[in-house]
Amino acid sequence: AQKITQTQPGMFVQEKEAVTLDCTYDTSDQSYGLFWYKQPSSGEMIFLIYQGSYDEQNATEGRYSLNFQKARKSANLVISASQLGDSAMYFCAIHGAGSYQLTFGKGTKLSVIP
Amino acid sequence: ETGVTQTPRHLVMGMTNKKSLKCEQHLGHNAMYWYKQSAKKPLELMFVYNFKEQTENNSVPSRFSPECPNSSHLFLHLHTLQPEDSALYLCASTPTPRLENTGELFFGEGSRLTVL
């Protein structure tokens, strides 16, 4: 069984500042993948970034980076230079090796302030 | 334009009604999924289809009945629903049902269902 914990129901960040969204996970799998998705008010879930459990380097995608600390079982999302369009719900998720099921956290609502 | 299209975007129905949600993917994927997103709860996987065959039913009540006539289309037939079934229903697809490499799920925009 896998579990994702996102302890921040809501976060505020000033435009152009960086923000870190927390995610901790629990899994018994040796091999797994961690994901972050963004969900704007339109409802669509937008894939942001992926980190494999055996990847030695932290994943980066443009302004998004994943701070992966395997020993602490954390996979925090860092958004640099926040933009107003970053205001949305953000979900952390995990899947086990060879599994088709993603387990999601409850999400963090990010609000970017002008 | 999203590669996964869901209709209707909004649906209001009574508990005795019968309605259907439709999902269509234009990505050439072979696996399709229904997820339920309730307020203040994590997304819950409902069903998985691989090459039109159902491979996962996550203990979903029988008042939800999925149908997958081909790899591009997925339906969720609704009947005799309860108010607690009100939620955002998200459809997703992947090239294969096993999440390898990035394992990215491609989601539609969802159908927001309200049961009165």
pLDDT at B85: 95
Residues 73-112, chain A, touching B (beta carbon < 8 A):
91, 93, 95, 98-107
Q: Is the pLDDT of residue A98 over 70?
A: no
Chain A residue nearest residue B5, CA to CA: A44
pLDDT at A13: 97
pLDDT at B98: 67
Residues 20-49, chain B, touching A (beta carbon < 8 A):
31, 33, 40-43, 45, 48
H/E/C letters for each residue in chain A?
CCEEECCCCEEEEECCCCEEECCEEECCCCCEEEEEEEECCCCCCEEEEEEECCCCCCCEECCEEEEEECCCCEEEEEECCCCHHHCEEEEEEEEECCCCCCEECCCEEEEEEC
pLDDT at A29: 87
pLDDT at B107: 92
* Of the candidates A14, A19, A16, the residue with the CA atom closest to the CA atom of residue A79: A19
* Of the candidates B43, B52, B42, the residue with the CA atom closest to the CA atom of residue B89: B43
**Is A95 within 8 Å of B103 when comparing Cβ atoms?**
yes
pLDDT at B57: 80
Does residue B97 have a cis peptide bond before it, meaning omega lies within 30 degrees of 0? no
Q: Round to whole Å and give the CA distance between B47 and B56.
A: 5
pLDDT at A56: 85
Name residue, tokens 């334009």: B1
Q: Of all residues in chain A, what percent carry a pLDDT higher than 70?
A: 96
Q: Round to whole Å and give the CA distance between A39 and A90.
A: 6
pLDDT mean over A34-58:
91
DSSP B53: E
pLDDT at B41: 84
**Segment A14-41, tens digit of pLDDT:** 999 999 999 999 998 888 899 999 999 9
pLDDT mean over A50-59:
90
Segments of chain B scoring below 50 in pLDDT: none
Q: Round to whole Å and give the CA distance between B37 and A63.
A: 27
Give A-chain residues touching B110 at CB under 8 angstroms.
Answer: 43-44
- Phi, psi of B83, rounded to the nearest 5 degrees: -55, -30
Choose the mutation target among B21, B29, B99 for the interface with A, i.e. most A CBs under 10 Å: B99
